Every structure is written in C-alpha cells, then in structure tokens.
Amino acid sequence: MFTLIVKGGIIMIPILTCSVISITIIIERMIFWFKQKQTITPEQLLSIASKGSIDDMAKEAQKVNHPIARVLIAGALNRNPSASAAMEAAAMDEINRMKKFLPALDTIITLAPLLGLLGTIVGMIQSFDIISLTGLGQPHAVTGGVAEALIATAAGLIVAILTLIPYNYFISKVERVTEDMERYATKFEMILNEQRLN
C-alpha cells in the first residue's frame, strides 16, 4: 500500500488528506446520529400535550435527545408569545446541527476525482518527457510512468465513492428528520390552537 501511494506521486498527499478528513467526518456524524435517541416518540409527546399537559410534555421531551423533541420543547416553552416562530427557529438550529460538516463531504466527493485526474495528467506529462529524452527505446520507463499516473486517478475515485455512500445516507436522514419536524410542529401548533379556543 505504501509503495502504491509513493508511486502515485505528490498529488497523493491531498488525496490522502481528503480521505482522512472524510473518515473523520463520517465517524463524527455516525456518533452524532447514534446519540439521537427517541425513548419517547413524538406521537407520545403530542398525546401528552393534547390532554392539556403542555408542561408535562416539555418535561418528558427534555429527557429525549432528538431534534424533534427539542423543536417541540421550544414550542412548549414559548407557547404564549409565539410557538410557531420558536419552533421554526429551533428547527433551523437543528437542521444546521444535522448538516454539520456535510458540505465538506460534498466537496471531497467532487475534489478527490479531480485531484486524481490532475495526478494522471502530471504523470502523463512526465512519461512524455521520458519519451522525448530517450525515445521509444525504453518502453518500461514509459509504461511505468503511465501506471503511476493511473494510481492517482484510482485513489481519487476510491475516496469519492467511499465518501458518496455515507454522504447520501446522512443527507437522506437529515431530509427525513426535517420532514418529521415540520409535521410534528404543525400538529403541536394545532393542539395549542385548540387549547386556546377551549
């Protein structure tokens, strides 16, 4: 492995840097989502609220480490001034937390193959330099240079592919939780409106 990295040339340094950053972010995001526990479902929290126990719902929601629960807490604690605005602000904060570092993964998915392509072009230029100096009398020197050039492209593609799968998983998870936040916040707002009318 180390020999292949060395053969890939100097462009392998930024590609390897991209891979380290990608792995670090993926592990951090996996830990983040692992910590988001739903011991009480949003439906159960809304059920408590619908019985008129908004404060009880807020207490139960505080035991849950999940974006939806935190949005509902914001609505419960600010129900008199404006529950809707409070939940919207809390939802924006939660979305930012869920999307943390994902733009960096998106950049790596685009950047890694381009760096690999750059490494290939540099390697091909070096191979043609060898041809211009020695002619075609040393085919091993030329083919060796081409092989080294392709290592960078392969490395860049591997980094991009292995980053793309978790990135898409995290993005889909963010979208799913965002939709759930909107749905449960709307339901909670309806419960609050009903209680005001009663």
Q: Is the dihedral of CA 56, 80, 71, 65 positive or negative?
A: negative
| pLDDT for the residue 142 | 61
Q: What is the DSSP secondary-structure string of 136-164?
A: GG-HHHHHHHHHHHHHHHHHHHHHHHHHH
Q: Give the tens place of pLDDT for each residue, 17-62.
A: 999 999 999 999 999 999 988 788 999 999 999 887 888 999 999 9
Residue ranges of domains in the chain: 9-197
**pLDDT grade, residue 136 (50/70/90)?**
low
The pTM assigned to this predicted structure is 0.85
Between 75 and 2, the more confident residue is: 75
Dist. CA 106–CA 22, nearest whole Å: 10
Reported residue count of the chain is 198
Q: Give the tens place of pLDDT for each residue, 80-125.
A: 778 899 999 999 999 999 999 999 999 999 999 999 999 888 888 8
